[in-house]
Amino acid sequence: MHKLKAIMIKDWHINKKSLLIPFWITAGFYVFILLSIAFAYFKGDMNINMIDLDTGPPVPVINYIVNMAILGLPGLMSILFIIMLTQNALNEDIKKNCELFHRSQPVSIWFRTGSKYLMGIAGNWAIMLIIALFNFLVINTILAIFHQFDFYSAFNGMILSSISFMKTGLIIGSITFFFSAVFKDKAFFQGFAILLGVQFLFLIVNTMLNWNLPLPLTYLFKLIKLNPMEGLENDVASLDIRNHISMVWNSILFNWKTLIQLAFSGSLFIGATWIYKNKEIK
């Protein structure tokens, strides 16, 4: 395993700048808010008003929704950076003319692709989770000071939202990783364009011949689609947030769809490695 560790350290050195960009964006965001608060404070316009929250939905619901929402920016950034990193995963060494140098090392190709896959996907997950945890501490401290704090709802809100983004990132990242084994450049856009082409072709064929060919993008969207807010309105009305949380755990993680998503992602990783392994290096 020390070889895998060595490769992961190398990949970390190569990718750390890209991986850490979400930190800087978040830091910039916080600096902007702090400056705004300081500006308002010194101008005497500081007015924190939580009265609306007191007359709104119950505390656990507010905590749940707020803590889901704090994942919005880091979650979207995570998916964006997963695409950026994985679309270069298996073709960048070739573009940079150092593929032969890396291939001439006595290490399994599965370790090499595994490290790139982990760096592209799990690396971004880790960054997202660290930012999420920081947001969680900041937002819930504010909620606890100025309103009320319910740990169960808040923590579940954050975790469930994180899992949704992680799963979406896993599937999109695996697809892009696969494309990086096939295409030399702009793998995500080239792969997506082909899928779009096939989608339209099948749509036309289905319409004209009354066939029922499976539509690739429709299937992918179905596979990716996760909505932790689904059914929330009804549960809020019945004040049953705990029921809602347990339902969301089942709909997001503990079901067959998760197994299909994992199998799909794993197959793409294996397929990508196989293509990459059999590529001739000129």
Partner 1 sequence: MNVAEVKNLTKYYGKLKALDGITLNIPQGRIIGLLGKNGAGKSTFMRCLLGFLKHKGDITILNETIKSHKESIHEHIAFIPDVSSLDDRLTVQQTIDYVASLNQSWNAEKAQQLLAGSDLPLNKKVANLSKGMKTKLYLLITLSLNVKILLLDEPTLGLDIVFRKEFFNTILGDFYDESKTIIISTHQVEEVEQILQDIIFIDKGKMILFEDVEELKKKHSIFTVPSDKIEELEKHKPKLITKTLGHVSAILNSEIKIENAQINKPSLSDLFMEKVGGSNA
- Taking alpha carbons only, the member of 249, 50, 247, 64 closest to residue 150 is 64
The SS3 assignment for 10 reads helix
Q: Does 138 bind partner 1 (CB under 8 A)?
A: no
How many CA atoms are closer than 13 Å to the CA of 200, on its beta-carbon side? 5
Q: Are 61 and 157 in contact (CB under 8 A)?
A: no
Q: Does 84 bind partner 1 (CB under 8 A)?
A: no
Q: Toward partner 1, which CB reaches closer, 67 or 115?
A: 115
Contacting partner 1 (CB under 8 A), which of 96, 184, 222, 225? 96
Q: Are 158 and 65 in contact (CB under 8 A)?
A: no
| 57: number of Cβ within 10 Å | 16
Q: Does 278 bind partner 1 (CB under 8 A)?
A: yes
Pair of tokens at residue 102: 């890396």
Q: How many Å apart are CA 174 and CA 200, to the nearest integer?
A: 23
Number of residues that bind partner 1 (CB under 8 A): 28
Stretch that binds partner 1, among 1-9, 61-69, 137-145, 223-231 (CB under 8 A): 1-9
Contacting partner 1 (CB under 8 A), which of 13, 210, 214, 238? 13
User: For partner 1, what does the binding mask look like between residues 104 and 123, x meaning CB under 8 A?
Assistant: xxxxxx--------------
Contacting partner 1 (CB under 8 A), which of 32, 41, 101, 274? 101
> What does the DSSP 8-state code read for residue 57?
S
Q: How many Å apart are CA 151 and CA 147, to the nearest integer?
A: 13
Q: Toward partner 1, which CB reaches closer, 116 or 244?
A: 116
Q: Toward partner 1, which CB reaches closer, 242 or 277?
A: 277
Pair of tokens at residue 227: 């909505």
User: Shortest approach of partner 1 to residue 90 CB, angstroms?
Assistant: 15
User: Where along the sequence are the contacts to partner 1 (CB under 8 A)?
Assistant: 2-3, 5-7, 9-10, 13-14, 93, 96-98, 100-109, 277-278, 280-282
